[in-house]
Amino acid sequence: MLCSRKMLNFLIRKDVRKILKRKDSDAGEKGKAMEELRASLFNELRSSEGAKRQQQRICGPSVALTFNFLVSVGIILMNKLVLGRVGFNYPIFLTFIHYTLSWLLMAVLNALSMLPAAPPSKSTPFSSLLSLGIVMSLSNGLANVSLKYNSVGFYQMAKIAVTPTIVLAEFILFAKRVSYQKVLALTVVSIGVAVATVTDLQFHFFGACIALAWIIPSAVNKILWSNLQQQENWTALALMWKTTPITLFFLVTLMPWLDPPGILSFGWNLNNTLAILMSAVLGFLLQWSGALALGATSATTHVVLGQFKTCVILLGGFFLFGSNPGTISICGAITALAGMSVYTYLNLLKPQQLPNKTSPRQNSFTLSKSKLSKENGDTHDGNNMETV
């Protein structure tokens, strides 16, 4: 009793009350700071501009490209396993599973209010979203069909044609020019990758036709992803959420034409199901990381990353596992890596102003752009061509 009374007297002393009050105040301030941080993050996601800033802060070019590189290597090997050893000979349906899982995961994020907000509907025409959804279904679906019928080397070889297709398409559509030095570096990269993969060109005639048909949708897909994010304040997840239903619809229309019959008679078991689900998870990560990389860099840089991945796989197998692809292939991979290094160096250089040459496609935009430049205090010349 005496002990409890002494304890009570100690607690009601003035100096002790001040210490306890200060601790309560500190705890309250920390809790308030945490609440303000949560509210700030929530508000960032609630506006397209804030979500875009958040994405740029967290996923810069190096983070996005590294993320995409790691996932790309994994999904190519996993899809080859599913389409080969597992015997799941339905590449379009496999792509459909990928996008279905992606949509379900994004629906969960949306239900938890964690999905970034999209820009106002008036800012982006529905035709742009429809076009992106269509080329996504063609690009990813035809890529899996190509992997089914062709070797990985031939699949990577077909990617070489995507680079000049992107450069040509961006020049026609957006009047973007690539400097002579970058064209030379990209040519060296393409030749190096061609030489590196020339020993692994096993392909089926139908598969070769599919690979050729895949080139244009793949190029347009990358261009649209890059431009919509960089010019319309779209984030990767918000754009995926809007376009995935369109992609799923067009994948359903492709199944009867490109998938063989008998999907219902496939021998489902635990191992097969886990392999297909793992492929689907990697498919979601690939789509997300690819969108992040395209939003942070450019379509051409994203293709060069894919070719870098090819060379790393070839050289890694040689140095780490003792595989012998041949002296010619190794020299080709080293040449391609040298070209990629030069291309990266040119991208890091400060862009110099080009002469004031205005293309006919830009004449209609010159006046409005110069007005915006004056209002915003922009010192750049509005008549300059963009460079990739």
Is the entire prediction scored with pTM above 0.75? Answer: no
Enumerate residues 6+ apart whose C-beta is below 8 A from 331. Answer: 195
- Give residue 344's pLDDT: 85
236-258 and 126-149 are packed helices; what angle lies between their axes, rounded to 10 degrees?
50
What is the pLDDT at residue 13? 56
Q: If you write DSSP's letter for every residue of 194-260 in order, what string do you get?
A: HHHTTT-----HHHHHHHHHHHHHHHHHHHHHHHHHHHH---HHHHHHHHHHHHHHHHHHHHHHHSP
Note down pLDDT in tens along the chain; length 388 residues.
544 555 445 445 555 455 545 555 555 565 555 555 555 555 555 667 777 778 878 888 889 989 998 998 888 788 878 988 888 989 999 999 999 999 999 999 999 888 888 888 777 888 999 999 999 999 989 988 887 888 766 777 788 888 889 988 888 888 888 888 999 999 998 888 888 776 666 667 888 889 889 999 999 999 999 999 888 889 999 999 999 999 999 999 999 998 988 888 888 899 999 999 999 999 999 999 999 999 988 888 888 888 887 787 777 777 766 667 778 888 888 898 899 989 988 887 755 443 444 444 444 433 443 444 444 444 444 333 333 3
CB 88 within 8 Å of CB 82: yes
Task: Please say whether the beta carbons of 317 and 329 come within 8 A.
Answer: no
pLDDT for residue 238: 92
Could you write out the DSSP letters of every residue in 8-22? HHHHTSHHHHHHHHH
Bridge partners of residue 177, in order along the sequence: 387
Q: What is the pLDDT of residue 40?
A: 55
Q: Taking CA 113 as the corner, what is the angle to CA 98 and CA 126, rounded to the nearest 5 degrees? A: 60
